[in-house]
Structure 1
């Protein structure tokens, strides 16, 4: 439920009518706290008569604009996200919550900025001590926030009521996660297997002084005689303005640790930072959110890169990550199609798997010889990509994200993998790319395209980079996020980031970031099937990817274990085989039933050879067949006759709408 936790925070209401802002948080109506006991918030408004008004409550800040006369800046801290919003029926004079289920979720970044400082052992210990006295010491750290006052702060006419700058501490490990809004007097200890993260929400991201206080682990001995803080050995200071000066929203800074009682340095601390900014040029509304919504259902089938990866199967007629591939998977019953999205040099969102492509050029002195050069996709404009022989059929028209939204039917969900570079444990990088786009700019372009064109389509975002997952969760309020993880693998090299190294710590990360769940590697899940149950007991949705999913027996085991979604190749081939089985069995039964009527058999064979099952019908029958196939085999020509006659009747496209409620 909604509670007021911070100074100047208020309760507000936003809704479907113009008076309530038409779902726009910037036009929402703040309520006034009663003067009696302060537990009642109220406001008198006028709404249209005879029309049912939908609305939601939220808590947040209403800040005056920095510019005189400018619009109010609204910060959403918590808001109601139940699928059916509250309703106000003026004709019946009642207010109600449609299904009685109340859900509250955290807000997203509207005008504020989030700064994250991380201390971890992914590459090496974050604290390095040079002073011999502390060489063998273990340290506890505490982060202090200070605002840098400017001379004209109080006198400027553009000064505005500031949002309270908040600090949250998260500690993530294989064993779980902890989240705190306060710190012990002497801070928290650093652990080799733990990811420690400080998250700061502020309206003034370029004007903060961030001070790390260092304490010895053994607090019984006073380092400085008479010190009020036993064990306090030093301080390291970081100015947030340095992020702006560097021009990077993520990176690593090394700070000197200054001794408490002298001007000497006793060591240095390595701080990993990330700056998350609101989407530029787009505002999310509050009409509906699926960020944490997942309805219980049978496992979803997701077509990997559409109908499947074709790099290893050159004979495959339909190329991966194309509209034809997505349509093929959808026509054979895939609930979702999965594909990779990244940007060209001129910031056009494209659907393409690899981070690099090959350019063939003729040698200067030999017209008949060709030479191949591997070039990062990010270094080529969209027009240049269209000219490449290798991928012109992949990127020309068919692989622009916008046109895929327009060409693929809306009932087909999109599992959009956001392509980002990863660093291996040995220090190498994906495709030898150690630098990439500005993460905020990269995501703003792709998220804006999706939010503007998705309509009613189901969308799931996923990425192997945990920072990208965190950013997507904080930048928008509508679609869910899955953290892609390979876990412990014999196939792929171990990643540098400790949050990526095991399925267990991936679960802890997903919980810490409050995202929908994880998309784990089949190799790791098949090795430890209990991971699925453990993750789901923590409120996480679990998808599964990898070549092992292409094996029918593996998919059966994962389904029995309760997996939420399966991403695999050759979706059309697997289901064409199933479809052929249905047709053959039916033809046999019809032939048996009409042994004296050759025309009946011929009609049945011709009809079932050309019929194309509607996707909704197909998925429903497929589920039924899994449960009854053993009966068909054992009973031979008994039960199957009746069952397959039902199959024919229900396959008529005019009746396919009967199954719509079963999958929505």
Structure 2
């Protein structure tokens, strides 16, 4: 929608919204969260009405959408609704608001989200909007103001349910990191995390709770008791309450940290949620607890670890900012009893997620999100492993992970290609599978030798990250398996022949940017990622290409998911095989089915046709990743086939414009917009 369609009139009763938007010129809509002025003839009113589960007192619901008054899909400028009803019978709330739009507006798209504010604790109070939950379906909600108008307002009788629409299952996702100041702290407690000095403590059952607080000295401008600082001690506890109103009367209106949520990974439903007042049970070598807190002032954030037996708190430990010095690591803290005696220690593993530097704006817009979307198809996807397959430790028609290999797989009808990425010493993101290379050590010219040098003498093992891009293109390399094979590696050399080097597409270390720009756009990329920094290259060059990130490290998967919402993330696990030590735990497949997750399968066994057919016909998976794709039988890229079928359908069914009723044409236009070239 452009400025030529009219100018919006701002008449907002939500104070924060007025403050945020003051001084900005807006177009196509004015809004009111608690009523609107009488409607002018050139305007239409859209009524938002959504029912949600009961929210915390500091949380609220906003609307983000396609109009500037709704933030133009930027959640930071989203429009706040007002709480209209508390319904105790089902523990829900009703949030409402009105939006005035110009009569020329034909369509409004929008999503609901749950937000709250955090303050970086600087001298001047500054509120930063944090997204707690949001509706993450691929397609947003849609309103056609003229069609849905009844009486004075569109959608006047419509009551939405947060997260549910379009006849599909609820799709609600956690928010991602929006601000440079914003960080997410994960504290993990598992295994033999606790050690006690006395037997009576070892024999007790223990419950754990973690409470955040900050170490900032507040000025007198803060006067109100912070509603986030709820008492951390159970009402039934025999211990005293240490967070009474008198404890710290100088607190900010808005804190620098969120409530600490808990996920117990060893439970059937490991979803993050509020902690119990007396903590959650922890059983040594059984339970795995993950605590999560958002902060916009990491340098002031501290935690109190509380330990309970039933309702009685018997010990505490403190994790101060100095005890969490890095973005990843572990810390050991002393446990102090309520009589101030050391009784043991607790080991905590921690990870801190930060925002990507210089994140492009479109990464934060929510007009579309592929992060939780996957279209179920009758035919599963087929993915070219390293393009046409392994060439350094196997046999195939093209050097693995080169532009030539990726395009060869594309020409043979693969739907995606899978490859690994590494980072060079000069921060170039390249496509290469292994962390190390063998560099050929040249002997001194003219030196006489009575014996042949060993492999250890002829080759030196070096990490890819310790080489610059220029060095990778200059030196002679062999695959690391050369050092282990009796007669050398079974495949070809890493360094191409002089004839191959004349063609850029045969170079063994292409950059990720080159691949994004030169491989057929209809082919998706499954990028096995080692470090989240690679996402910057993807955001700059991916365009409309289908992208899936994957990793064997669950921490990397968590980091990628929290730094962006745009692309899906696959967690890789090892399955059963006859070639290697058997992996007995089949639980990952069952868990994926239980939570409706997408399942990709890769393995050397998939080079057998009968194994492929078994997965296609008998096992409910979404994609297969294997070598030498399309060599045994011709196949076509499924996305190209679907696109051609869709175009043929519309071409065959489109009526002549002269005989199409005006209303029907409008409705068809609205329906066509729900299709996506990225399905």
Q: What TM-score results when the alignment is normalised by the length of structure 1? A: 0.69
Gaps of 5+ in 1: 220-228, 420-441, 495-499, 508-530, 580-612, 621-649
| Correspondence 1:348 to 2:428 | yes
Describe how 1:350-369 pairs up with structure 2 within 5 A.
350-364=430-444
* Number of equivalenced pairs: 522
Match of 2:212 among 136, 145, 164: 145
Give, in whole Å, the separation in 2 of the partners of 1:477 and 1:62.
Answer: 20
Classify 1:142/1:89 alpha carbon distance in 2 versus 1 (closer, same or farther; 3 Å).
closer
Cα RMSD after superposing both structures: 3.9
Q: Which one of 413, 416, 419 corresponds to residue 524 of structure 2?
A: 413
Contact 1:143 / 1:213 at 8 angstroms: preserved in 2?
yes
2:6 is aligned to none
Stretch deviating more after TM superposition (393-402 or 559-568) = 393-402
Match of 1:42 in 2: 97
Match of 1:131 among 198, 204, 207: 198
1:564 corresponds to: 622
8 A Cα contact 1:332 1:618, kept in partner: no
For 1:460-482, what per-residue CA distance to the aligned partner results, in whole angstroms no more than 9, with x for missing partners? Answer: 11100011111111111111111
Could you tell me which of 534, 543, 566 is aligned with 1:455?
A: 543
Alignment partner, residue 357 of structure 2: 280
Q: Is the 8 A contact 2:420 2:433 kept in 1?
A: yes
The 8 Å contact of residues 257 and 297 in structure 2, kept in 1 or not, is answered as no
Of the three residues 397, 400, 403, the one matched with 2:514 is 403
Q: 2:77 aligns with which of 5, 27, 46?
A: 27
Q: Give the match's secondary structure for 2:115.
A: strand
The Cα of 1:385 is off from its aligned counterpart by 2.3
User: What do residues 363-413 of structure 1 show as CA deviations (whole Å, max 9, x unaligned)?
Assistant: 458758663111111222223222232256699596211111101122111
Q: State the Cα distance separating 1:163 from its structure 2 match.
A: 6.2
Whole-angstrom distance in 2 between the partners of 1:152 and 1:536? 53
What does residue range 364-443 of structure 1 map to in structure 2 within 5 Å? 364=444, 371-390=458-477, 391=494, 399-419=510-530, 442-443=531-532
Matched, 1:120 2:197: no
Deviation of the 1:661 alpha carbon: 10
- Relative to structure 1, the CA distance from residue 82 to residue 133 in structure 2 (aligned partners, 3 Å threshold; closer, same or farther) is closer
Distance 1:459 1:256, change over 3 A: same
Distance 1:617 1:173 in 2: 38
Matches of 1:617 and 1:481, distance apart in 2:
20
Aligned to 2:389: 308
Of 213, 230, 234, the match for 2:315: 234
Distance in 2, Cα, partners of 1:570 & 1:289: 32
For residues 172 and 200 of structure 2, the distance between their equivalents in structure 1, rounded to whole angstroms, comes to 51
Per-residue CA distance 1:609-660 (angstroms, 9 max, x = gap): xxxx76459979xxxxxxxxxxxxxxxxxxxxxxxxxxxxx99x999x99x9
Query: Is 2:118–2:296's contact at 8 Å kept on the other side of the alignment?
Result: no
> 2:556 aligns to what?
468
User: Does structure 2 conserve the Cα–Cα contact (< 8 Å) formed by 1:319 and 1:325?
Assistant: yes
Give the Cα separation in 2 of the matches to 1:492 and 1:174: 30
Long gaps (5+) in structure 2: 1-50, 88-92, 224-251, 478-493, 497-504, 653-674
Contact 2:415 2:639 in 1 (8 A): no
User: Which of 308, 319, 329 is the equivalent residue of 1:251?
Assistant: 329
Q: CA deviation at 1:70?
A: 11
Note the C-alpha offset of 1:72: 6.5
| Deviation sequence 1:62-119 (CA, Å, 0-9, x none) | 5678789999733212222233322343554646899454643222121332111111
Gap change, CA 1:310 and 1:170, over 3 Å in 2: same
3-state SS in 1 of match to 2:392: coil
Contact 1:4/1:59 (<8 A) preserved: no
- Aligned partner of 1:84 in structure 2 is 139
Matched residues in 1 for 2:280 and 2:427: separation? 43
Larger proportion of helix: 1
Contact 1:10 1:60 in 2 (8 A): yes
